[in-house]
Chains A and B, each alone.
Chain A
Amino acid sequence: MIAQALMDGMIAGAMIGLGAIGITLTYSILRFANFAHGELITWGAYLALAISGGLGYLSSTLTAPIGPFSFGWSLPLAGVLAVLLTGALALLADALLFGRLRARRGTVIIMVMASFGAALTLRSLLEFIFTSKPAYYTKALQIAQPLGGGIRATPDQMLTLGLSAVLVLAIHLLLTRTAIGRAMRAVSENQQLAGIVGIDVRAIIRVVWLLGAGLACVAGIMAGLLVQIRPHMGHDLLLPLFAAAILGGIGSVPGAMLAGLIVGLSEAIAVQVIGAEWRAAVAFVILVAVLLVHPQGLFGRRA
């Protein structure tokens, strides 16, 4: 029973971790807590839903399940397109709102407030278009396979875990081993100085938005595949995301992923021990504990 809870917690934690990486990147490089990040997750999920629905309409072979999974080729194809479109949405929000506030040298907190307004607008727009009824990518049911040790998981869940691990590794390598990653870290360290040594700060900011939104989209598709798609799914994830980003230490990608797993596992254990109705409070307890004991987080530099 506990082993199964740990497995479920790992899967939820992987999704939280992917979202938290986006939060931690925007936080350390754009320097504000983006309350609209949850909406990027939701938009990613709905974009993929709309596109895969369209593809399935064009050709029914695309919806035939691939191997052991519950979905056909329409979903991965739609996923790629949705990642790009979610990135475009983030760039659009930056061009219309955040970029202008940045150019005016507004305060950090004005950006936070703008992201709060953007979040509600984006969420309600989805609610208007798709209504608040839950939606699903496929209607296929999956049987959980025994993995040994009394743990069961569906092939979809295993795929989600594997894909998260690959993505985290890729982002980590991108940040530590490539020129663009070095430039991103430089901008996060000191924006003016990075500009002086010839780094194109605006290009870096665009890359950060694209990365953050792309990961959010992937997390949204995973959540939609494993649970369901609702206009509030991203908003409900926001507190766990912030808790994970702060627990991991702002700016740290491995930290965000590890902290995401910790938050997911704690939620799963709390559901077993206390009850499912208190799940949403777990992230808050973790957040308060981190801020009390060690505000810079696990891998953060001085806060």
Chain B
Amino acid sequence: MSGELVGYGAFFLTMALTYAIMCLGLNVQWGQTGLFNVGVAGFVAIGAYVSAILTTPDSSGHFGGFDLPIVIGWLGGALAAALVSFLIGALTIRLRADYLAIATFGVAVVVQLCALNLQSITGGPFGIGFIPRPFAGLAGEPLAFSLLNLGVLALVVLAVYLTLERLVRSPWGRVLRAIREDEAAALALGKNAVRFRLQAFAIGGGIMGLAGAVHAHFIGFVAPDNYVPILTFQVWAMLIVGGSGNNRGAILGAVLVWGLWTASAAAISVLFPPEQQARAAALQIVMIGLALCAVLLLRPRGLLGEVRVVSRHVGNLPAIGARDFPNKEIASHAREP
């Protein structure tokens, strides 16, 4: 019994940690740089599909099946998503701030369409199955298998987290914040705002692609239904609840919101008769949507807010309060040429 419980806990945490990676990617784009991505699901799907095509054994059903090692698949997925992010960013970042949002929304729609319709590459509505899972040889011992998978996920999250923390505290990270807070001042210091934003957007997109690839290898299949707009929404709720701008907040938010989501799904399956459950599932989304709006209104900094000073040479100042960033308004106006 306790073994089952541990197994379930490991499964839950593994899922939560895949979301944490997406959340960390979004944090680079939104939290650090102020770029709004409404197409998270699309970038995650790109990573998942590319990795699936690279690593599945050769098959006649669809293009690919290169049977490459899993790690190559993960890197390929991340690179592909980063490339698409770069192209979309290059197209829209120099324009109005919300054109990027509209374009990323379009990316999610088009990726979904491609996944459904490019049967020969993506397997169409049924997707691609038999994606190799790490430690597949241990599948006979469920407990060891799930704990090892959790360990791999924890390592990936830790690696992404440490790299991002390093980046945030680097001169590069400080320039990003400077641009977000006061673009005119950053420009006056000779920083190329468009280029820095583009780099941040591509890195964030790449991390989302990595998350998609890791997720696909954990569940063992990809299908268009995995990457619907609700995924984007969940990742956003995670980041906003946890605290945008704070990498630890991103991870905490992912675990909390995923916990809330699975708990409410369990509650619905107990409380509602089977024929009403699809209907009641809509209430889950209503709840998360209200929570997102409430956090935006009542506690915009989230549970763990952004840390104000990132240099270790200056003493810690109190975190940025709920008064928002007064200069952001000016910065976003300056961005509209």
Residues on A facing B (Cβ under 8 Å): 32-33, 35, 97, 100-101, 104-110, 112-114, 116-118, 120-121, 123-125, 127-128, 131-132, 235, 238-239, 242-243, 246, 277-278, 280-281, 283-284, 287-288, 291-292, 295, 302-303
CA distance A121 to B283 in the complex (A): 9
Other A-B pairs beyond A33-B102, A281-B109, 8, CB < 8 Å: A35-B101, A107-B332, A113-B236, A128-B280, A239-B106, A288-B91, A288-B103, A291-B91
| Complex interface: chain B residues within 8 A of A110 (CB) | 296, 300
B98 contacts A239, C-beta separation under 8 Å: no
Check: B186 CB closer than 8 A to any chain A CB: no
The answer for the CA separation of A116 and B280 in the assembled complex, in Å, is: 21
User: Is A287's CB under 8 angstroms from B285's CB?
Assistant: no
From A104, A287, A302, B103 is in contact (CB under 8 Å) with A287
9-residue interface stretch from B13-21, B49-57, B110-118, B214-222: B110-118
Answer whether residue B6 sits at the interface, using C-beta atoms and an 8 A cutoff.
no
B105 in contact with A114 (CB, 8 Å): no
B102 contact from A100, A131, A242, Cβ within 8 A? A242
Cβ–Cβ contact B97 & A109, under 8 A: yes
Q: Separation in Å of the B126 CB from the closest CB of chain A?
A: 15
Q: Given that A35-B38, A127-B282, A288-B103 are known contacts, is A116 also in contact with B236, CB under 8 Å in the complex?
A: yes
Distance A303 CA – B95 CA, assembled complex (angstroms): 8
Interface centre among B113, B280, B326, by most A CB within 10 Å?
B113
User: Does A242 lie within 8 Å of B105, measured CB to CB?
Assistant: yes
Q: Of all chain B residues, which has the CB nearest A231?
A: B282
Please indicate the chain B residues that have their CB under 8 angstroms from the CB of A35 in the complex.
Answer: 38, 101, 105
CA of A33 to CA of B102, assembled, Å = 8
Q: How far is the CA of A49 from the CA of B130 in the complex (A)?
A: 46
Assembled-state Cα–Cα distance A183/B337 (Å): 24
B328's closest neighbor in chain A, by CB? A107
Using Cβ atoms and an 8 Å threshold, which residues of chain A touch B280? 128
Q: B61-69, B152-160, B187-195, B287-295: which lies at the A interface?
A: B287-295
How many A-B contacts at CB < 8 Å in the complex? 131
CB contact between A32 and one of B98, B113, B278, B300 (< 8 Å): that residue: B98
CB-defined contacts of A243 to chain B, threshold 8 Å:
106
- Say yes or no: A291 contacts B289, CB within 8 Å: no
A242-B102, A288-B91, A292-B91 in contact; A128/B293 too (CB < 8 A)?
A: no
Judge whether A128 and B97 touch: CB under 8 Å.
Answer: no
Q: Report the minimum CB–CB distance from A114 to chain B (whole Å).
A: 5
Question: By DSSP majority rule, is chain A's interface helix, strand, loop, or mixed?
Answer: helix
B95 / chain A contacts, CB cutoff of 8 Å: 291, 295, 303
* Assembly CA distance A220 to B297 (angstroms): 30
A120, A123, A246: residue with the most chain B Cβ atoms closer than 10 Å: A120
Contact of B296 among A105, A117, A120, A121 (CB under 8 A): A117
Closest residue to A125 on the B side, CB-wise?
B286
State the Cβ distance, A118 to closest chain B Cβ, in Å. 6
Q: Specify which of B38, B92, B236, B329 is in contact with A107 (CB 8 Å cutoff).
A: B329
The size bracket of the interface on B is: 35 or more
Residues of A within 8 A of B8 (CB): none
B76 within 8 A of A: no
Which chain A residue lies CB-closest to B90? A292
Residues of the B chain whose Cβ atoms lie less than 8 Å from the Cβ of A125: 282, 286
Q: Is the CB of B106 within 8 A of A283?
A: yes
Give, as a whole number of angstroms, the nearest-CB distance from A97 to chain B: 6
Residue contact A288 to B332, C-beta cutoff 8 Å: no
Looking across the interface, which residue of chain A has its beta carbon closest to that of B99? Answer: A291
Which one of A105, A123, A288 lies within 8 Å of B329 (CB-CB)?
A105
Contact: A291 with B101, CB < 8 Å? Answer: no
Cross-interface CB contact of B117 among A33, A278, A292, cutoff 8 Å: A278
How far, in angstroms, from A106 to B183 measured CA to CA in the complex?
17
The residues of B that contact A281 with a CB separation of less than 8 Å are 109-110, 113
Q: Check B106–A113 contact: CB distance below 8 A.
A: no
Given A33-B101, A124-B282; A105-B233 close (CB under 8 Å): no
Whole-angstrom CA separation of A234 from B34 in the bound complex: 27
Complex Cα gap A224–B101 (Å): 28
**A131-B109 contact, Cβ under 8 Å, with A35-B38, A109-B332:** no
Residues of B near A295 (CB, < 8 A) are 95, 99
Q: In the complex where A109-B36, A120-B285, A238-B105 touch, is A131 in contact with B279 (Cβ < 8 A)?
A: yes
Is A101 in contact with B297, judged by CB distance below 8 angstroms? yes
Cα A27 to Cα B68 in complex, Å, equals 48
Question: Which has the most chain A C-beta neighbours within 10 Å: B38, B99, B328?
Answer: B99
Most A Cβ at <10 Å: residue of B102, B229, B280, B329: B102
Give the contacting residue for A277; candidates B97, B113, B328; CB below 8 A.
B113
Residues of chain B lying within 8 A (CB to CB) of residue A100: 297
Looking at B107, B240, B279, the one whose CB has the most chain A CB atoms below 10 A away is B279
Asked if A120 contacts B102 (CB within 8 A), the reply is no
Q: Which 9 A-B pairs have the closest CB atoms?
A: A121-B289, A124-B285, A284-B106, A33-B98, A127-B282, A117-B292, A128-B282, A124-B282, A120-B289
- Which chain B residues lie closer than 8 Å to A120 at the CB level? 229-230, 233, 285, 288-289
Interface residue? B96 (CB, 8 A): yes
Which among A118, A132, A283, A295 has the highest number of chain B CB atoms within 10 Å?
A: A295
Bound together, the chains give a CA A106 to CA B327 distance in angstroms of 10
Judge whether A287 and B102 touch: CB under 8 Å: yes
Shortest A192–chain B CB gap in Å is: 12
